[in-house]
Structure 1
Amino acid sequence: MRKHYYFLLLGLLFFFSGAAMAQSLRGRVTDAQTGEALPGVTIAVANTTTGTTTDTRGDYTLPLTNGPHQVQFSFIGYNTQIREITINNNEVTLNIALASGTQTLTDVVIVGSRSTQIRSNVETVAPIDVISVRELQASGQIEPTQMMNMVAPSFNSARQSLADGTDHIDPATLRGLGPDQVLVLLNGKRRHNQALINVNGTVGRGSVGTDLNTIPVAGIERIEVLREGASSQYGSDAIAGVVNVVMKKDTGTTANLHVGQFYEGDGANAQLGVYHGIKVGSKGSIGLAADVRFREGTNRAGRYTGPVYQNWNVSQGANESTADWLARRQNLYSQDQALITQNNFNLENNILVGNSDVNNFGGMLNGNLKISPKTEVYFTGVLNYRQGQAAGFYRYPYQTTQNIPEIYPNGYLPEIHSTLWDRSGLVGIGGEWGKGWRWDLSNVIGGNSFRFDIENSLNASQFALKEAAPTEFYAGTVKFNQNTSDFGVSKDFGQQIGVQSFNVAGGVSYRLDNYQILAGEEASYRNYAPESGRGGGAQVFPGYQPANEVNETRNVFAGYLDLETDLTDKLLLNAAGRYENYSDFGGNVAGKLSARYKFAEFFSLRGTISNGFRAPSIHQRYYSAISTVFVSVPGQGLQPRQQGTFRNDSPVAAAFGIPSLKAEKSTNYSLGITSQLLPNMTLTVDAYQIDIRDRIVLTGQFQRGTSAVGQQVSALLDAAGQTDVQAAIFFTNAVNTRTQGVDVVLSADYAVGAGTLTATLAGNLNQTEVRGDPKVSETLPSDVFGNVLFNRQERGRLEWSQPRSKFTLGGTYRLSKFSSTLRITRFGEVKTFDPNSAQLDEDFSPKTATDLNVSYRLNKWLQVTLGGNNIFDVYPDKLEVTQYPTANNPTSLDNSSFGRFVYSRTATQFGFNGGYYYGSLAFNF
């Protein structure tokens, strides 16, 4: 029945769109120098919700009511024009020629304000970057997260390796905070989170982010990055800021084909994106996009030097002399080397350290339909399907508890195969009634699922089956679904009270979150012979068990009030407040006060004081799993452990004294300047401080052992019936942090010869520090468990795993049909801390990557680009503590896991794949 309603609604929309009135503004926008059409120009009408963009031919049509209107034309890289026009039951034609100017990283913005006043980012109370699709494509990347990583200074995203599901999703952060502390919007509406929770040793460990790579690049018009806490405006997750992805709906057809490969000869990429937009009736439009990406994996592993067939890396016996111990090691080592030679074992290629292999297919539908002169229906649909393949650690023949030699006599490299589905649908209706009352009603439904299939693996506890034991397993699926309904109204009372503007906006919303874990097949998780000491479940990723299954739902009610006024022609004020109530933990209030004062045309001062919050994700509250992880054991290197992640409300968590999760709360301060230094140069500088209380982290491992702590852990796990688990971790509100930093954006535009040069210097400095001691167990002594709950490795991950600085100097030179972009990006220092020994800590110095491309437009519909990223083939520093243990030197420190790791996999600045070259074709019909 629901489908019939949808078809009926569409039929009505088409009927009404044909009956719309004919008052409109139309015309073409061109480059003032070359006369070529400019697609994607933003056209906005002051004090209304009306706006559009030019199509691929530079044409636009803008339905307007009778009366005078102020219309603004803006485009990245060009000076903005504002025109006054009057509509009187007629159609007005207005052609515009835009001159190159200083609009790099500036544009009319949607995010951060509910006022209809036209403002660029140098006029807003909050720092905002606007990144056009042209800039995204000029990055030479094919995925949205990596595109933004190269062009937005405060944004960071580095691909992860050997991190289970996180290999297939790039964690993305803002201002050095967590992936779950940045809110993502699509066309101004909240976008759902990913289903996967990052539980391995990566950036954002324990967090749940939003997968930007599910959005088809071909359908993106621009991306707005609000670099300021906005919980009072948009709700939970907006502590660090907001990313708003605006989708296309202009008419015409465009296509882009990209092919490239790394200098090393692997990691080939291919991407094809196609967009087509059509008019519907006289005042509506629908845009369709399809995006296909193929990403081959990379491998930067080193030569393995550890045991293969005989484990010579043994500990000294209690009654064994050092000489006897070393002799025993040497004997085993000699046997191992002989077997390696005899079996021709490949020490160079037994692990994959680099990008996972991913194929991505996406589509988009986006449009709007006028059903009356003052009412519009809009809709957006996004569908994404992804298949990925990544590997874990090699299981060597000597690791008998993890192998069945009849199947893999020389060991094996288990693989994780992922299947991701992501879908979302937005339907809204809005317009204006009475004298300036604007209203909007919308509903967004979306979901994400992540399926795990394990191949080239086995369940070692099925050793009795020998060759008949299965080697492929379905390990389960995680799902997250969200439905958000919003209603808002606003009105500008400026004229009534005698000021330029006084916009009042308010609204309510209702959100429903649903989280599910579906168990895998029995053989993926069961231990069929616990008395054997062999590992149960699929190696690399034991499946979710029936005990892990969950289907939990929560609802969220919210109400907000937002005021913005140009109190004088120099003073702009904004105040906002929001209340949200969660069915699973209660309510929260967030507020904000912002101001901007224009001292002169060339100098303004802006600042904000606000408080924010991030509700515990439903994933963090209900996730549980048993997994095989490799942990650093002093004197033994990386060793496998069966680790349990236990629900926050579980008996195990209660036994360990882990309290119920509550919301993270923040206090944000920012102060900045904006300046039109010269007619062709703009500058923004914004300093900020973000204090976060009760930050949610994933604890360190509470491990079984013979020490006092280990014995307590064993007793607690056994009492809870977790006899197969060797370690336990939990989610808990453990620490307080302070993040301080500065964002700088300097844009300039100059005539150079017969062409123009547009240049941008953009940078971010940030520093996060853990303040005070971590909160520990409510029932267990802090001197026993405090350092386990939040150890030095996790502290280092919060403070140092992301670059503390990133600066980009970029310039684009345009001359007739020729253009070239040069971008130099400096990534700051990162560090890693070992959980047990400061001697294993690593520092990685700043690195600079240089990107260059050259484009030539062969004709009006085809542009050819050749380019390279990281053209000087720069790599991060290699691991320094790589004196791995040998038969005669068993006490050496090793960060490389017997040479397998050349570069750090836990703190990366920009990856470790080296230089990349590519070519692309851009079609415009």
Structure 2
Amino acid sequence: MKNCYIYRLLILTSVVWLFALLSAFAQSVRGHVTDATTGADLPGVSILVQGRNTGAVTDANGLYTLTLEPGSYTLQASFVGYTTQTLPVQVTTGTTATVDIRLVESLASLNEVVVIGSRSTQARSSTQTVAPVDVIQSRELVATGQVDISQQLNFVAPSFNSSRQTVSDGTDHIDPATLRGLGPDQVLVLLNGKRRHNQALININGTIGRGSVGTDLNAIPSSAIERVEVLRDGASSQYGSDAIAGVINLRLKEQPGTTVNAQLGQQYEGDGQVAQVGINHGFKLGQKGILSLTGEFRHRGATNRAGDYTGPVYVNWNVGQQSGESAAAYVARRQSLYQQDQALIRQNNFNLSDNLQVGNARVDNAGFFLNARVPIKGSGSNASFYATGGLNYRRGLAGGFYRYPYQTTQVITAIYPNGFLPNIQSTINDQSLLVGVNGETNGWRWDISNVYGGNSFRFDVTNSNNASLAYLGPVNNPTSFYAGTLSFYQNTADISAAKDFGKQMGLTSFNVAAGVTYRNDQYRIKQGEAASYLNFSPQSGQAGGAQVFPGYQPANAINAHRQVYGAYLDLESDVTERLLLNAAGRYEYYSDFGGNVAGKLAARYRFSEAFSLRGSVSNGFRAPSLHQRYFSAISTVFVSTGTGLEPRQTGTFRNDSPIAQAFGVPSLGAERSTNFSVGITSRPLSNVSLTVDVYQINIRDRIIYSNQFSRGTSGAGLIVATILNNAGQTDVNSAQFFANAVNTQTRGLDVVIATNPRLATGTLDVTLAANFNQTKVVGDIKRPANIPQDATFGNFLFNRQDSARLTVAQPRSKIQLTFNYRLSKFGAVLRVSRFGTVESYDPANPALDQSFSPRMVTDLNVSYRIQKNLTLTVGANNLFDVYPDPLKVTNYPTPERYGTAALDNSSFGRFVYGRTATQFGFNGGYYFANLSASF
């Protein structure tokens, strides 16, 4: 045993002496990599030795070191957003060569290598791809002055639209996001190239994307993102269901060093305070491994742009004419009621300007993300293990409609003598974990991964009451309620392989990629507490359930699953030096409704270095979400009836429910699309790039959330009443459901022009990007088989108002011109965004339609590099405090004015700006200060 230790000691000593001897004769190359314009250090730059399997990555100070044998070499330095450089170096025995590198920023996003949309190893910029792609760097996102991803993209990607909603229940807390004017559920979101799970919330209020389920982009910390790639083309055959409008791929940071970003700001009006701090730190794991950690906190204060209320408060004077009552008596009665109400308003000092919150909800958001990649030693296949995980927690607080004292069926006046503004308090949890292994064996690039993620949305109602509990008295009555929880979880497993057979076939490239996937989806609704949904005294006529958001009932609770199996084949080849072809096909089978096949053909032909033509044709699909198949609820919906906002107990019934079947609603099927696109890419000058793409997207059997089918005493209303009564839903006034009901056609044009003119001092990048689109409903509406359409408001599956949400509620055009100037330690970004016309329609009366003219919004920020790694930025979004057109309103402050022609006869002045069709929001100007550091 003693001799064993002696032998180990001798071996260890020999190794140490050998290492020291080799080190004495080692040659090295060292250097410093900086930004050519600002001189700032560039961490995370890849330094490769061409023709050799060796390299390095710059550290937090932009430094790198390579150990090489004597000889001549060529170093290649590459970094996202910068032009790749190659430099020669001569290494001699026992010396250290110094090669400092100054990288120049590449020409906007049009020169940057694109990953999305292709599985080939050929490096292509967005002017060389077969489909249009936007590449947006993290520095461009930060330069917007926005702090969450959806709003950052809204101001840098014209085809992307995200508008914050107000007085719309849960949608106040999650911004619907769309691409090319389609729905939130018709764009697929990827994180590091893997499918991202959807949100738990389904949008059922009168907002953009009504009836759809999107992806909560704001659950991903903006501080964790390296860049965003937006594929503006149908890609169901390449990436699966939902990719009808395109794909958004968020790439997380993978570089050593530390970055810190902090921002403070508020609206010009003095509200909407924003505080954000994000920290990202990247650790080296061995020579080529990386672990990137990000933590971020965001606070967004509430905003309020409500107008003064002019309607009834204590006494309801907004009444109709009684049978047999003369016109003069009717006016006199109304005037008397009005005077009584005004007297009580003065007596109780009721604040008519502070009884509704119309603006952003308050939101506090905390997130943590990790991103790691580690080579697997000894694998013999250049294999790596990778992982991405994230946790996000969000608390929101938003107001509903004010309950006034005269609404005695909804208000317990013993608790709230002056009425109350009920609040929805949201708790949103989001988590995900991706693990995988990839590598290359005998020329085959393979990847095996599994990603599990989920989102839950808990509803709590505060500052409210259940009016049917009035008999308990003010002391024992609850004013806060747990209303239930929605959740959606998804597990996706993928196996893929790809190989380029170009050399064997005598071609520049012939890439073959194939893969299989398995996905399991789970959707759950948990019921709320009994007091949140029960009517404890039906005979009293008081409304049951928590006001603003009645809780989910036991009948709504569900735990639904589905399995999805898929396989795809993707071919891409540079057939000649000029012609690039791509073909893809995918089959997916859904356990709850069947299979679907999607295919795509795309090509790009390069006529010269200055001009190329590209185009694609594809078919796509979007499977109905589990939310659309299984969501149900009873809720209070305020409906515009032509004489005011009328609260209705409205039931949303599952597509497979007896009630939906009694209406004659068929089972949900997939939406199917046909996409056509043709475009040009051009570099007319060495520093000018241009892409122009036109497209048409036809969608058949589009899933919509129906309007209210209301009970009545004749016609369709009597049929509705009979169906609801037979199902035991005697307290429900109207019914809604999901159905494949309409076909739409979207046509549009995308233009991106970028240049960086050479200046005597400093550098200037100029980008002009624009999207023009038009969506229209084509063909007949597919109405339920067992219910006729009549003129009674609400008894329409899909009315004028619903049609407007699909066709004109989002800007028909968005044009953005951006100037980015840098001179030594100074920098400035000026962005001018023009948002096109939006419209909202009245459900029945065209005279009440609203149109909002185009508006131009200017953003400006100026930065100064205080120290080598510390930069201060101050700026203003919406610099000139621009607001959209106000609603064309004729209010009813007195009974004498009641009955005159009106364009908004429901808000009584509370809504100054439209909330169903928005261009850029109505919060006005916002100023901020931002401090960023890198180490």
- Taking structure 2 as the reference length, the TM-score comes to 0.93
Deviations 1:323-353, CA, capped at 9 Å, x for gaps = 1111110000000000000000000000000
Tell me what 2:760 maps to. 753
**Cα offset, 1:245, TM superposition:** 0.5
**Structure 1 contact 49–116 (Cα < 8 Å) conserved:** no
Pick aligned residue for 2:36 from 23, 27, 32? 32
The 1:60/1:546 distance shift into structure 2, 3 A limit, reads farther
**CA distance change for structure 1 residues 771 and 81 in 2, over 3 Å: closer, same or farther?**
farther
CA, structure 1 residues 96+347, in 2 after alignment: closer, same or farther (shift >3 Å)?
same
Equivalent of residue 740 in structure 2, options 733, 744, 751: 733
**Cα drift, residue 63 of structure 1:** 13
Does the aligned pair in 2 maintain the 1:884–1:894 contact within 8 Å? no
Distance 1:116 1:62, change over 3 A: farther
Q: Is the Cα–Cα contact under 8 Å of residues 150 and 825 in structure 1 kept in the other structure?
A: yes
Q: Is the 8 A contact 1:741 1:765 kept in 2?
A: yes
Q: How does 1:527-538 map to 2 (within 5 A)?
A: 527-538=535-546
- Write the mapping of 1:540-689 to structure 2, written as runs, cut at 5 A: 540-634=548-642, 636-689=643-696
The one-character-per-residue Cα deviations of 1:299-324 (angstroms, maximum 9, x if unpaired) are 00000000000000001112111111
Q: Equivalent residue of 1:448, what SS?
A: strand
Deviates more, 1:279-288 or 1:732-741: 279-288
Superposed CA offset, 1:642-672 (max 9, x none): 1111100000100111110000000000001
**Count of residue correspondences:** 898
Distance 2:505 2:164 in 1: 53
State which of 162, 166, 174 in structure 1 corresponds to 2:171: 166
User: Can you list the C-alpha shifts for 1:853-884, whole angstroms capped at 9, x where unaligned?
Assistant: 00000111210001000000000000013333
Distance 1:811 1:897 in 2: 41
| Matched residue SS, 1:308 | coil
Q: 1:771 aligns with which of 778, 783, 787?
A: 778
Q: Counterparts of 1:6-405 in structure 2 under 5 Å?
A: 28-39=32-43, 56-59=60-63, 73-76=78-81, 78-81=82-85, 96-104=101-109, 106-372=111-377, 374-405=382-413
* AA partner of residue 783 (structure 2): V
Give 1:682 shift.
Answer: 0.4
TM alignment of 1:400-419, pairs within 5 A? 400-419=408-427
Residue number in structure 1 paired with 2:866: 858
**Displacement of 1:711:** 1.4
CA contact (8 A) 1:271 1:292 kept: yes
SS at the partner of 1:237?
coil
Deviations 1:67-86 (A, max 9, x none): 9999672543x444467999
- How many angstroms apart in 1 are the aligned matches of 2:665 and 2:828? 56
Distance 1:63 1:730, change over 3 A: farther
Say yes or no: does 1:438 pair with 2:442. Answer: no
Match of 1:151, SS state, is coil
CA apart distance, 1:101? 4.2
2:472 to 461, 465, 468: 465
Report the alpha carbon displacement of residue 639 of structure 1 after superposing the two structures with TM.
1.1
**1:44 offset after TM fit, Å?**
9.5
Amino acid at match of 1:579: Y
Q: Is the 8 A contact 1:667 1:692 kept in 2?
A: yes
CA-based RMSD of the aligned residues comes to: 2.6
On the 8 A contact 1:737/1:769 being kept in 2, the answer is yes
Contact persistence 1:612–1:665 (CA under 8 A): yes
Matched-pair contact (CA < 8 Å) for 1:868–1:915: yes
Shift of 1:710: 1.4
Alignment of 1:779-818 (within 5 A): 779-781=786-788, 788-818=796-826
Instruction: Pick closer, same or farther for the CA change 1:750–1:71 going to 2, 3 Å.
Output: same
Residue 523 of structure 1: SS of its match in structure 2? helix
**Given the superposition, is the C-alpha separation of residues 287 and 259 from structure 1 closer, same or farther in structure 2, using an over 3 Å criterion?**
same
User: Matched residues in 1 for 2:64 and 2:625: separation?
Assistant: 43
Instruction: Supply the AA of the counterpart residue of 1:689.
Output: Q
Q: How far, CA to CA, are the matches of 1:24 and 1:366 in structure 2? A: 31
Please give the alpha-carbon distance, in whole angstroms, between the structure 1 residues aligned to 2:445 and 2:746. Answer: 38
Aligned to 1:7: none
Distance 2:289 2:922 in 1: 47
Q: Are positions 1:522 and 2:530 aligned together?
A: yes
Q: Deviations over 1:102-140 (max 9, x none)?
A: 133542121111111111111111100111110000000
**Residue in structure 2 matched with residue 898 of structure 1 by the alignment:** 908
1:918 to 921, 924, 928: 928
Q: Structure 1, residues 559-603: CA drift from partner, whole Å, max 9, x if none? A: 000001111111111100000000000000000000001100010
Residue identity (%): 62
Quick check: 1:239–1:614 contact (8 Å CA) kept in 2?
yes
Name the CA distance, whole Å, in 2 between partners of 1:659 and 1:793: 23
Instruction: Determine the structure 2 residue equivalent to 1:10.
Output: none
Structure 2's unaligned 5+ residue stretches are 1-25
SS of 1:752's equivalent? coil
AA partner of residue 858 (structure 1):
I
How far has the Cα of 1:773 moved from its partner? 1.4
Q: Deviations over 1:445-504 (max 9, x none)?
A: 000000000000000011101202110000000000000000000000011110001100
Distance 1:84 1:512, change over 3 A: farther
Q: CA deviation at 1:909?
A: 0.2
C-alpha deviations, 1:624-649, integer Å up to 9, x for none?
00111100012x21111111111000
- Secondary structure in structure 2 of the residue aligned to 1:712: helix
Query: What is the Cα deviation at residue 57 of structure 1?
Result: 2.9
Instruction: Tell whether the 8 Å contact from 2:45 to 2:77 is kept in structure 1 after alignment.
Output: no
Classify 1:486/1:53 alpha carbon distance in 2 versus 1 (closer, same or farther; 3 Å): farther
Q: Which amino acid aligns with 2:386?
A: Y
Counterpart CA distance in 1 for 2:917 and 2:323 is 38
Q: Which amino acid aligns with 1:642?
A: Q
Q: Structure 1 pair 538/203, CA: closer, same or farther in 2 (3 Å)?
A: same
CA contact (8 A) 1:621 1:647 kept: yes
C-alpha separation between the residues in 2 aligned to 1:24 and 1:835? 75
Which residue number in structure 1 is paired with residue 14 of structure 2?
Answer: none
Cα gap change, 1:193 to 1:70, in 2 (>3 Å): farther
Equivalent pair of 2:705/2:739 in contact (CA under 8 Å)? yes
Structure 1 residues 43 and 161, CA gap change in structure 2 (3 angstroms) = farther
Q: 1:552 to 1:218 in 2, by over 3 A?
A: same
Choose the corresponding residue for 1:874, options 871, 875, 882. Answer: 882
Distance 1:653 1:759 in 2: 54
Moved more, 90-99 or 696-705: 90-99
Q: Secondary structure at the match of 1:136?
A: helix
> How does the TM-score come out when normalised to structure 1?
0.94
Among candidates 875, 888, 896, match of residue 888 of structure 1: 896
Whole-angstrom distance in 2 between the partners of 1:151 and 1:647: 39
- Tell me how far apart the structure 1 counterparts of residues 920 and 52 of structure 2 sit (CA, whole Å): 42
Residue equivalent to 2:455: 448
Contact 1:105/1:131 (<8 A) preserved = no
Bigger Rg over Cα:
2
